[in-house]
Amino acid sequence: MEIRHYLNEQRQVVDLALEKYMLKPQGPFARHIESMRYSLFVGGKRLRPILCLAAADTIDPGCTAREKLLPVACALECIHTYSLIHDDLPAMDNDDLRRGKPTNHRLYGEAGAILAGDGLLTWAFDLLTGQDSVLPPESLLQITHLIARAAGSLGMVGGQALDIAYENKEFPFELLQTIHRSKTGALLTCAVQAGAVGAGATPEETEAMVHYGDRIGLAFQIVDDLLDVTASTEQLGKTAGGDAKKGKATYPAYFGVDKSRKMALEAVTAAKDALAGFQEKAAPLLAIADYIYARSN
Amino acid sequence: MEIRHYLNEQRQVVDLALEKYMLKPQGPFARHIESMRYSLFVGGKRLRPILCLAAADTIDPGCTAREKLLPVACALECIHTYSLIHDDLPAMDNDDLRRGKPTNHRLYGEAGAILAGDGLLTWAFDLLTGQDSVLPPESLLQITHLIARAAGSLGMVGGQALDIAYENKEFPFELLQTIHRSKTGALLTCAVQAGAVGAGATPEETEAMVHYGDRIGLAFQIVDDLLDVTASTEQLGKTAGGDAKKGKATYPAYFGVDKSRKMALEAVTAAKDALAGFQEKAAPLLAIADYIYARSN
């Protein structure tokens, strides 16, 4: 499987769906909608939507489920984008650059960026529960609940609150794991899980997917920490070395670069092992796991 | 009907439900959850949840529907509270006082307050779609969608974006109506509508409820504008005269105090007329409409 080709192709699928399902910049709220669209369409790997669709394809190799999951995939990207906008705010990480472009608040002001984030988060739930969502009501409710739980105070928002609270403070490795798992891991895992549930996975299949999501979530975060140390600002599209500057705890800070890389590889291996039961049907998810690790080299 | 007694009693019902359904300040995210709970429990009339329950009682005078609507009522209050936290931020209205107490960011910092708002918004959708919600899946999806639409970029968030964008600018009265209707009216209307839908209202009954909601939303906003001019900071629990100071367009600024008061009364009368078909079953909603106007005197 040519992973770069696959990811490119899937990114285009997601981009088309986002264009279809996202609010258009018209009417009295045009400028506000424009501010949301700026961050949503400024770029991005679309990793969460692609994971969702790839998980659906694994459960339903006929690829009929993925069509019904496109609004779910787009909702995940809206939530991811909102989290980046709020994380970049002056009161939070105070970043000027994201994906090689000015951050939302640099263009639309702080108030505009806060509201762009609020709007994208709320739009995700509008999309999940609206007429474009054609999954059965029970599945939709379950998926919407999974997403709310992963994105909220016991997941991504809670993780970001901890991340901010512990800047420039020493804390035990267990807390770093909690931060990573909630801030980054929860939504990645949820993306895979939502795809599986929407495609009609059995509880055992869903459990395997959750385990896969948990491990690639860990790998993703370790690699992210590594890239912040080893890559340039140009390569990253955001300011390199930001973690150290902000006094954030990271895997390389705890374990050094080599050990961290080894831990990322172990996590990826565990992720792939979790999918053994799906055999070749899981090819895209397996390749995505490898790709996440490959970014670190 | 003794409206103050009714509102007190219902406020206690809502407060108990909020305590039951809200996250507890424990575990690794305790401090963040505490920040959400601070604003949620610092006080408040609980008008939106009470409107939701009163609408349900009107449709179902046996009051069996209202039990099932408690999570919906609480979700509405979580969304209202999040909007106040974000509106008060330094980047927005920069208010230090709300309900006679320090605003969220004064206690938890800007980052903490942004995340408290994000957490409450997301928790609303968690609650709406989780196991505590016992309405049929189709109704729950419909209600969740109504709430997302009212709270989002075409409703409350969009209205706040316009409100901020037009500070200190002259603009036509039509735009003031759009701002009021989206920023305040949409969620009030949605509260009534969600209660009606959850209680199994017919389309005609729901339409009457929406019309009622739209008119009390208008009355509420006019009265709010009036109180900002006529009441003291102590009476308001927030800084009086804030609208003029921030260069916000208001009804009294357009029409003067007397004409504005007359417009509020007209709106309340229209709201009550919309409920004529329900006869005495609508007594609480009728009394709430009168109460909204009475606040202005």
Residue B122 to residue A154, Cβ atoms within 8 A: no
In the predicted structure, residue B1 carries a pLDDT above the cut 90 = no
In the predicted structure, residue A246 carries a pLDDT above the cut 80 = no
Distance CA(A253)–CA(A256), nearest Å, equals 6
pLDDT band at B296 (very low <50, low <70, confident <90, very high): confident
Residue A152 to residue B112, Cβ atoms within 8 A: no
List of chain B residues whose C-beta atoms are within 8 Å of the C-beta of residue A164: 111-112, 115
pLDDT value, residue B77: 98
Report pLDDT digits (tens) over B218-242: 999 999 999 988 877 777 777 777 7
- Averaged pLDDT for residues A125-131: 96
Report pLDDT digits (tens) over A171-217: 889 999 999 999 999 999 999 999 999 999 999 999 999 999 999 99
| Number of residues assigned to chain B | 297
Residue A31 to residue B165, Cβ atoms within 8 A: yes
pLDDT value, residue A249: 81
Residue A126 to residue B149, Cβ atoms within 8 A: yes
**Candidates A109, A125, A158; nearest CB to B125:** A125
List of chain B residues whose C-beta atoms are within 8 Å of the C-beta of residue A121: 118, 121-122
Distance CA(A108)–CA(A44), nearest Å, equals 20
pLDDT value, residue A286: 98
pLDDT band at A259 (very low <50, low <70, confident <90, very high): very high
Buried b (16+ CB within 10 A) or exposed e, B112-134: bbbbbbbbbbbbbbbbbbbeebe
pLDDT value, residue B212: 98
In the predicted structure, residue A221 carries a pLDDT above the cut 90 = yes
Two tokens at A5? Answer: 């080709």
pLDDT band at A240 (very low <50, low <70, confident <90, very high): confident
pLDDT value, residue B131: 87
Number of helices (H), then strands (E), in chain A: 14, 2
Which of A57-66, A141-150, A157-166 has the least mean pLDDT?
A: A57-66
DSSP symbols for A126-188:
HHHHSTT--S-HHHHHHHHHHHHHHHSTTTHHHHHHHHHHTTT----HHHHHHHHIIIIIHHH
List of chain B residues whose C-beta atoms are within 8 Å of the C-beta of residue A154: 23, 27, 29
Specify the CATH number for the domain of residue A73: 1.10.600.10
In the predicted structure, residue A228 carries a pLDDT above the cut 90 = no
Task: Please give, rounded to a whole number of angstroms, the shortest distance from the CA of B129 to a CA of chain A.
Answer: 5
pLDDT band at B182 (very low <50, low <70, confident <90, very high): very high
Instruction: Give chain B's end-to-end CA distance (angstroms, integer).
Output: 20
List the single residue in A with minimal CA-CA distance to B174. Answer: A28
In the predicted structure, residue A157 carries a pLDDT above the cut 90 = yes
Report the number of distinct structural domains present in chain B.
1
pLDDT value, residue B171: 85
- Is there a contact between B283 and B291 (Cβ–Cβ < 8 Å)? no
pLDDT value, residue B201: 97
In the predicted structure, residue B179 carries a pLDDT above the cut 90 = yes
Residue A111 to residue B164, Cβ atoms within 8 A: yes
Structural domain of A103: 3-294
- Averaged pLDDT for residues B148-172: 94
Which of A164-173, B10-19, B190-199 has the least mean pLDDT?
A: A164-173
Task: Please give, rounded to a whole number of angstroms, the shortest distance from the CA of A284 to a CA of chain B.
Answer: 30
pLDDT value, residue A237: 73
pLDDT value, residue B248: 80
List the single residue in A with minimal CA-CA distance to B93. Answer: A111
pLDDT value, residue B110: 98
| Number of residues assigned to chain A | 297
Helix A65-88, helix A156-165: angle, nearest 10: 20
Report pLDDT digits (tens) over B109-118: 999 999 999 9
Residue B187 to residues A44, A118, B98, B210, Cα–Cα distance (Å): 33, 15, 20, 11
pLDDT value, residue A280: 94
pLDDT value, residue A150: 98
> Which of A63-72, B142-151, B237-246 has the highest average model confidence (pLDDT)?
B142-151
pLDDT value, residue B69: 97
Instruction: Return the percentage of chain A with pLDDT > 70, whole number.
Output: 99
Residue B121 to residue A117, Cβ atoms within 8 A: no
List of chain B residues whose C-beta atoms are within 8 Å of the C-beta of residue A112: 161, 164
**Candidates B114, B138, B145; nearest CB to A126:** B145
pLDDT value, residue B64: 87
Q: Coil, strand, or helix at residue A42?
A: coil
Q: Phi/psi at B229 (nearest 5 deg)?
A: -85, -40
Q: Which residue has the higher pLDDT, B244 or B196?
A: B196
List the single residue in A with minimal CA-CA distance to B105. Answer: A91
Residue among B149, B110, B121 nearest A152 (CA): B121
Best B82, B140, B157, B187 residue to mutate vs chain A (most A CBs within 10 Å): B157
Best A94, A110, A114, A182 residue to mutate vs chain B (most B CBs within 10 Å): A114
Task: Please give, rounded to a whole number of angstroms, the shortest distance from the CA of A202 to a CA of chain B.
Answer: 20
**Candidates B129, B161, B175; nearest CB to A115:** B161
